[in-house]
């Protein structure tokens, strides 16, 4: 077994994973919104408020998981690749909590995510389908097909903070995503796998599932349609902030709308089916550890 942690530009995600036959089993999960990338573009730093949210999330996870008796792999992504104070924060985390975070490259992030997605697709009955993966994060987006991977420096938090208003998001999304869209279009695929908080939340919205009741088992394998990226954004925009906090999580309304604008432009003209998978970097890093691939992927 292994405890796998993904500290991203917006979320802190933990899973307890074990081998199960030829695959892997997710025994327990934990997630908190920490907003690591909030204000990063302006200051170049992980802010004090974000740092406090990260520390509080780790404290909660330490209660939920047996870190003393279980191996742990912990990875951090784009916000920490660029933040000037990332090393200082991780030194403090190691000293206070005993967790040794690795700041991984965009390529390693894409490879770990691909492992998590591949195992999930096999579980969901998509084993023989050609696929591409889009992992839209808080400060970066990884796209790949299992062999070819690219990381792009845009995400829902950084894009939202650069636009703020819905009209500006829709006006600027095409320019921000143009190179990523070209790469995606070049990949041969029958399905496009959407992993990360924006598509999973969209799938939850479609079945009336609120944030507190989120069940990954009911979401993975769901299908989104192209019109959903505009329609659900419009619906969410109309909802007052108090109700939106219940539906999609506290302070997530506008970053999610930003993410839908980005995906709308990325996916325009694509004919493949859009399949939502909850499994991603968190699961892939743990599964790579259990199969002995973790260190080689880190490089």
The second-level CATH assignment, the architecture, of 2-106 is 2-Layer Sandwich (3.30)
Q: What is the mean pLDDT of residues 96-124?
A: 93
Residue of 22 and 268 predicted with greater confidence = 268
Q: Assess whether pLDDT exceeds 90 at residue 81.
A: yes
What tokens were used for 154? 């845009």
Q: What is the mean pLDDT of residues 273-281?
A: 96
Q: CA 189 from chain center: how many Å?
A: 21
What pLDDT score does 41 carry?
A: 86
What pLDDT score does 147 carry?
A: 86
What pLDDT score does 146 carry?
A: 81
pLDDT band at residue 274 under the 50/70/90 scheme:
very high
- Residue 251 region, left (φ>0) first, then alpha (ψ -120 to 50), else beta? left
Q: Do domains 2-106 and 125-276 have the same CATH topology?
A: yes
**pLDDT tens figures, 142-176:** 999 988 999 999 999 999 999 999 999 999 999 99
Q: How many residues does the chain have?
A: 299
Q: Assess whether pLDDT exceeds 90 at residue 22.
A: no
Portion of the chain with pLDDT greater than 90, in percent: 89
**pLDDT tens figures, 39-55:** 998 899 999 999 999 99
d(CA 151, CA 190): 21
Q: Where are the domains of the chain?
A: 2-106, 125-276
Q: What is the mean pLDDT of residues 81-92?
A: 97
What pLDDT score does 137 carry?
A: 92
What tokens were used for 24? 């892997």
Give pTM, 2 decimals.
0.91
**Extended strands (E) in the chain:** 2-7, 11-20, 23-33, 72-76, 101-103, 131-136, 141-144, 149-152, 191-195, 223-224, 273-276
d(CA 87, CA 83): 9
Q: What CATH topology corresponds to 125-276?
A: Nucleotidyltransferase; domain 5 (3.30.420)
CA-only gyration radius of the chain, Å: 18
> Is residue 155 classed as helix, strand or coil in its secondary structure?
coil
CA-closest candidate to residue 281, choices 78, 127, 122, 129: 78
What pLDDT score does 192 carry?
A: 98
Q: Assess whether pLDDT exceeds 90 at residue 227.
A: yes
Mean model confidence pLDDT for the chain? 95
d(CA 33, CA 250): 8
CA-closest candidate to residue 1, choices 28, 36, 40: 28
d(CA 59, CA 66): 12
Task: Sheet containing 141-144: give its strands across.
Answer: 149-152, 141-144, 131-136, 191-195, 273-276, 223-224
pLDDT band at residue 127 under the 50/70/90 scheme:
confident
Strands 72-76, 101-103: pairing kind: parallel
CA-closest candidate to residue 235, choices 262, 214, 204: 204
């Amino acid at each position: 077994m292994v405890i796998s942690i993904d500290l991203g530009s917006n979320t802190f995600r933990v899973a307890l994973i074990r081998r199960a036959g030829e695959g892997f089993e997710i025994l327990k999960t934990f997630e908190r919104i920490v907003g690591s990338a909030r204000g990063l573009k302006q200051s170049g730093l992980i802010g004090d408020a974000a740092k406090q949210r990260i520390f509080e999330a780790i404290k909660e996870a330490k209660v939920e998981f047996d870190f003393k008796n279980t191996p742990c792999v912990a990875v951090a992504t784009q916000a920490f690749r660029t933040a000037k104070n990332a090393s200082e924060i991780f030194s403090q985390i190691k000293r206070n909590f005993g967790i040794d975070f690795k700041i991984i490259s965009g390529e390693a992030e894409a490879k770990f995510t691909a492992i998590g997605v591949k195992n999930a697709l096999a579980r969901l009955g998509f084993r023989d389908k050609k696929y591409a993966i889009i992992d839209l994060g808080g400060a970066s987006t990884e796209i790949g097909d299992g062999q070819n991977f690219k990381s792009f420096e845009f995400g829902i938090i950084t894009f939202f903070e650069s636009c703020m208003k819905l009209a500006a998001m829709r006006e600027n999304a095409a320019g921000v995503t143009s190179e990523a869209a070209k790469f995606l279009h070049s990949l041969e695929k029958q399905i496009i796998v959407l992993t990360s908080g924006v598509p999973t939340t969209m799938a939850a919205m479609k079945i009336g599932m609120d944030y507190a009741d989120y069940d990954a088992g009911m979401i993975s394998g769901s299908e989104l349609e192209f019109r959903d990226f505009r329609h659900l954004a419009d619906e969410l925009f109309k909802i007052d902030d108090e109700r939106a906090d219940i539906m999609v999580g506290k302070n997530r309304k506008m970053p999610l709308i930003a993410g839908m604008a980005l995906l709308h432009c990325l996916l325009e003209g694509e004919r493949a089916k859009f399949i939502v998978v909850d499994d991603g970097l968190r699961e892939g890093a743990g599964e790579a550890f259990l199969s002995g691939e973790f260190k080689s992927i880190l490089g």
